[in-house]
Amino acid sequence: MSTAEQPISGSGRILVFVGGLCGAAGVALSAAAAHLGGAFVGTVASFLLMHAPVFLAIGLVGANRILRIASLILLVGLVLFCGDLLARDFLGSRLFPMSAPIGGTLLIAGWLAIAASALVRPRS
């Protein structure tokens, strides 16, 4: 059975859904940045578009536990980082103090966890 024919697990479906939302939001915010401007909207669009394929890939592959946890860390980091930047542009205030740095740190940690997942041997 090929990967395309295998059913996607519950967490895989959520990750594919999140990837689709990130992609759609990234495209919409790219258009908003082009037409409306905003100091951070373009940055948020780029971050969403660059992370969307990660969620799709992990969701479709049916990845190991470490990879799924890494994707959750990435998602929380993305929400905090992008949410803070969008709040600055659209609301004129921060999401909460240190939300962008915390989100950025979680994004780095998520990527490091993805790298670490390659070093873990699968159970036989």
What is the per-residue pLDDT across 13-31, written as a single tens digit (0 to 9) for each?
999 999 999 999 999 999 9
More confident residue, 1 or 12: 12
Q: What is the pTM of this model?
A: 0.85
Q: Which two tokens stand for residue 60?
A: 């479709």
Query: By C-alpha distance, which of 47, 21, 45 is closest to 33?
Result: 45
DSSP symbol at 120: S
Position 41 scores a pLDDT of 95
- Percent of the chain clearing pLDDT 90 (strictly above): 71
Position 6 scores a pLDDT of 65
User: Which residues lie below 8 Å from residue 106, measured CB to CB, with a gap of 6+?
Assistant: 73, 74, 76, 77, 80, 81
- Owner of token pair 């929380």: 76
Confidence of residue 7 (pLDDT cuts 50, 70, 90): low
What's the Cα-to-Cα distance from 3 to each of 7, 12, 57, 60, 107, rounded to whole Å?
A: 8, 13, 11, 8, 28
